[in-house]
Structure 1
Amino acid sequence: MFGPVAAAQDVLIRDATVHTVSARGSLQHADVLVRGGLIAAVGPGLSAPAGVQVVEAGGRPLTPALFAGITEIGIEEVSGEASTVDSHLKLGEQPLRPEFDVTLAYNPASVLVPVARVEGLGFTALGATTGGGFVAGQGGVLRLDGSLDPIGPRALYLRLGAEAAELTGQSRAAQWMLLQQMVDEARGRIAADSPHALLTPAGRRTLAGYLAGQGRIIVAVDRASDIRQLLRWAQREKVRIAIAGGAEAWQLATELAAAQVPVFVDALGNLPASFDQLGATLENAARLQRAGVPVSFAQREDVSHNARKIRQLAGNAVAHGLPWADGLAGLTRVPAQVLGVADRIGSIEPGMQADLVLWEGDPLDVAHYAEQVWLGGQAMPMRSRQTELRDRYLHRARVR
């Protein structure tokens, strides 16, 4: 009902303020030519080949399609109905299962896909959650164009700190003990047939791949001391990590920058919601960026049904010191780079996927909206179940 059209369209978007989110920066009165689902050319005064549709932008902003954050779009339909939630694994006393891959349950026909898409969101990091273990499992990048399969490498999701303590014997120290044992198993330092082994053969192979740098480990963690331990662990084991949340990450900005560890910031976090977040501040993103840390964004609540709020996170970070261009990059290029898909999406350059959004106004200001979204050159229907219900009942109200 809300899916994309059958084939990519050739289109020339003329006279836009093109925010390329690349070394070219923002281009005034520029054109973008799309051919065969890819960006063919970017610049002023481009000619429209015969038969190519022309969209007059009138100087309005054109950006890459935005990152929806780390979500459960397509693997959670109704959070209160367990039969519609596929984001976590519960196996009781069974071994931890890093091989668990939530992308296998992704439903591109989920009503949440167009709800996010009409807001200018074009891709998401589908994340495993920690309902079954502090090592949650794997996720991947999904484009919200109706595709079934993820793009790019998988990511492994962990949670550390107080929020995961109930999954590790009520001790955050036990998290490091268990994590080190899993590493030792994956590296062959503990025999696979040991009666004390934590991992299955598939789990050992999966974790070994991440230890060899074949994917990124994304860790939900907030407290500065836990982040410091995480940096030491990542350096010792030579693994690529990213941080999600990071309420107190700004306290280690220099160390994070030196290690080139990106942070998915909750830019609305300014209160100590837990003892792990006593140092929360609205300037978190700005302080990290000034130190040279790659900054993107991720919500803590309403991550799937209200993915649109991620624009508010970026705008809020800009209001508290993050440069505007870095706010937009945090919703486009930076997450694409962190997740290993920047060769395809996240910027407006020739050869990239034509995942584009034409905006009515500033994309980081929630008072403005997306006028048209193209994914792979396809003009997406700018409607969802929510918009159709709105229009239906507004019409009824007028009739009465």
Structure 2
Amino acid sequence: MHIKTLLAGAPIALAAALALTGPALAQDVAITGGQVLTGTSVIENGTVVIRNGKVVSVGTGGAPAGLRVIDARGKIVTPGFVAVDSGLAGTEVGSVRGSNDLANSANTLTAAFDLSYGLDPWSFTLPVARLGGVTRAVVTPRHVGSRGGGGHSHDDSDFAGAGDGGYQTPGLFAGQAAVIKLGGADILVKSKVAMTAPFGEAGATVAGGARGAEFVLFKETLAEVRAYARNKAAYDRADMRALSLSRADLEALIPVAEGRMPLIVTVNRAADIQQVLRLAREEGIKIILDGAAEGWLVAGEIAAANVAVLLHPITNLPANFEMRAARMQNAAALNAAGVVIAIKGNEGSAHRARDIRYNAGNAVSHGLPFAAAIQAITVNPARIFGFDGQFGELKAGAAGDVVVWSGDPLEPLSQPSAVLIDGVEQPLQARNLLLRDRYRTGGEGAMPPAYGN
């Protein structure tokens, strides 16, 4: 009976796998006649030309001869959306530990944790996200300060300062983020694009219970990293004092300490944001704020520090003392102050990564200009993580990531009629739709054989 049940699910599993991989080769394509939102401008009756997986031109006029044409008349054409602070391809079910590769609890490997090794191109989360126009994602490790998606990586009781062997348990740093694309079997675009760390209440818990302890411990950690970087030969000879981090973690933090790798700092309280900005100035490190629920209170300071923010614009409840001033005008206020913002999806942007367009629409309804909302899910994420002009925008030289929409992409009822990644048109199919179609009709094969016995 068990074998029959497994075999009954084979067709849908195979169909789902095929839906994940999609066509193998890019085509030369012209998308014509639509309203083109390039990410920085609007072109009426525009034409987007893609060759060899790259955008070669965006303008007006007809399609060049010999190209396949996608008719977008009456539709809207956008760059593929970019999900930030995402769990895509890193988890299937957050509560099933074996399917969740976003969190690591070993106290000897914290900053050096590289989640790119655990990414799954055949994850069921990817085609669902593509149906929401998402074509790229910045996948980040989960820690005690993370919200949703991969879930909390640890119980609070696990965070009690120094652990066995003097190593911090589980460490101030959660690991390194990676950029992926949501098409093909080779989804990794670049690993080690940023380091992650919790601050505020979560960071205080990691450090032993108080915010002041975390800041002191953070500064001491960077001092150790710099000492190691200057004296690797002495470290190899065991001619240095004992350091609190493993060699792998020390190596991973050198780019952070030298200001070459950004540190994604999860923080929400306005006072904590101010302290983190001060810390970044004093230590000469590059930071990206994640969360910033009270960011609007110190928007001018964030802008003056030239620090970007990854935010969830519909956070508006004082869930704790870090979010007493949370409000849905946060995105509008930060943007008005000149802060570069990127809008996140819901539940960690894994199973609900497609919600980034809904969240952008909500931000528009609370004062964020429409053009700024589009930038916050296309151009800005690419810019924040060092991929300006490479994706998230329709311009010559950028990746051929294009979505053709039935209407306003920020309207929930609008749906994609075509999704291209690197010039490859993706199937508009996902496991949830396959399951819907299987059981909706109730015909032959709708139920496994075991249910008929």
| Fold agreement, TM-score > 0.5 | yes
- Counterpart of 1:139 in structure 2 is 177
1:363 Cα deviation after fit: 0.8
Question: Closer, same or farther in 2 for the Cα pair 1:397/1:234, shift >3 Å?
Answer: farther
Q: Is this contact kept in 1: 2:346–2:352, CA < 8 A? A: no
Report the CA distance shift for 1:309/1:246 in structure 2 as closer, same or farther (over 3 A): same
Partner of 1:21: 39
- 2:88 is aligned with 1:70: no
Q: Answer whether contact 1:223 1:276 (CA < 8 A) is retained.
A: yes
Structural mapping, 1:80-99, within 5 Å: 80-91=95-106, 94-95=107-108, 97-99=110-112
Partner of 2:54: 38
Relative distance call for 1:196 and 1:225 in structure 2 (3 A) is farther
Measure, in 2, the Cα distance between the counterparts of 1:152 and 1:49.
Answer: 39
1:299 offset after TM fit, Å?
4.1
Q: Deviations over 1:20-65 (max 9, x none)?
A: 113xx10000111111111111111133322x21111013110000
SS in 2 for 1:392: helix
* 1:165 equivalenced with 2:201 (yes/no): no
Q: 1:61 to 1:300 in 2, by over 3 A?
A: closer
Secondary structure in 2 aligned to 1:30? strand
Aligned to 2:378: 332
Counterparts of 2:171 and 2:415 in 1: how far apart (Å)?
39
Match of 2:72 in 1: 57
Q: Which amino acid aligns with 1:112?
A: T
1:160 positional shift: 0.6
Give the secondary-structure state (helix, strand or coil) at the position aligned to 1:188. Answer: helix
| Inter-partner Cα distance in structure 2 for 1:389 and 1:164 | 41
- Alpha-carbon separation, structure 1, partners of 2:443 and 2:365: 38
How far the C-alpha of 1:292 sits from its partner, in A, is: 0.3
Identity %: 32
> Residues of 2 paired with 1:89 and 1:157: CA distance?
12
Q: CA deviation at 1:6?
A: 1.0
- Give the TM-score normalised by structure 1: 0.94
Q: Secondary structure at the match of 1:232?
A: helix
**For 1:291-310, what per-residue CA distance to the aligned partner results, in whole angstroms no more than 9, with x for missing partners?**
10001112462521111111
Shift of 1:77: 1.1
Paired residues of 1:96 and 1:198 also in contact (CA < 8 A): no
- Contact kept in structure 1, 2:132 and 2:355, CA below 8 Å: no
**How far, CA to CA, are the matches of 2:174 and 2:323 in structure 1?**
22
Count of residues in Structure 1 that have an aligned counterpart in Structure 2: 395
Larger radius of gyration between Structure 1 and Structure 2: 2
Q: Deviations over 1:152-186 (max 9, x none)?
A: 75110111111333322122222112211110011
Query: Of 134, 145, 158, which aligns to 1:121?
Result: 134
The aligned amino acid for 2:32 is R
The whole-number CA distance in structure 2 between the counterparts of 1:377 and 1:258 is 39
Q: Is 1:262–2:303 an aligned residue pair?
A: no
CA distance in structure 1 between the aligned counterparts of 2:208 and 2:321, rounded to whole angstroms: 18
Q: Secondary structure at the match of 1:225?
A: helix
TM-score (norm. length: structure 2): 0.83
CA distance in 2, matches of 1:238, 1:264: 21
SS of 1:135's equivalent? coil
Deviates more, 1:357-366 or 1:162-171: 162-171
1:234 is matched with 280
- Look up the SS of the partner of 2:77 in the other structure: strand
Out of 37, 48, 51, the position equivalent to 2:64 is: 48
For structure 2, the 5+ residue unaligned runs are 1-17, 144-152, 154-169, 447-453
Alpha carbon RMSD of aligned pairs, Å? 2.0
Mapping for residues 1-400 of structure 1, pairs under 5 Å: 1-2=18-19, 3-22=21-40, 25-50=41-66, 52-91=67-106, 94-95=107-108, 97-130=110-143, 131=153, 132-146=170-184, 147-151=186-190, 154-188=193-227, 197-299=243-345, 301-396=347-442
CA deviations 1:54-83 (Å, max 9, x no partner) are: 111013110000012211111111112111
CA apart distance, 1:195:
5.8
Is the 1:88–1:129 Cα contact (8 Å) retained in structure 2?
yes
CA–CA separation in structure 1 for the residues paired with 2:172 and 2:259: 21
Cα distance in 2 for residues equivalent to 1:381 and 1:176: 48
Q: 1:228 to 1:95 in 2, by over 3 A?
A: farther
* Deviation string, structure 1 residues 239-286 (Cα, Å, up to 9, x no partner): 111111100111111111111101111111011011100010100000
Moved more, 306-315 or 169-178: 169-178
Cα distance in 1 for partners of 2:249, 2:92 equals 28
Rounded to whole Å, the distance in 1 between the matches of 2:372 and 2:421 is 23
Q: Distance in 2 between matches of 1:301 and 1:380?
A: 25
1:150 to partner: Cα distance: 2.7
Question: Hey, what's the Cα distance between the residues in 1 that align with 2:37 and 2:431?
Answer: 30
AA of the residue aligned to 1:184: A
CA contact (8 A) 1:245 1:300 kept: no
Q: Which residue identity does 1:176 align to in structure 2?
A: F
Distance between the aligned counterparts of 1:394 and 1:134, measured in 2?
Answer: 49
Distance in structure 2 (CA, Å) of the matches to 1:151 and 1:178? 30
Contact 1:39-1:350 at 8 Å conserved across structures: yes
Secondary structure at the aligned position of 1:276 is classed as coil
Q: Distance in 1 between matches of 2:382 and 2:276?
A: 23
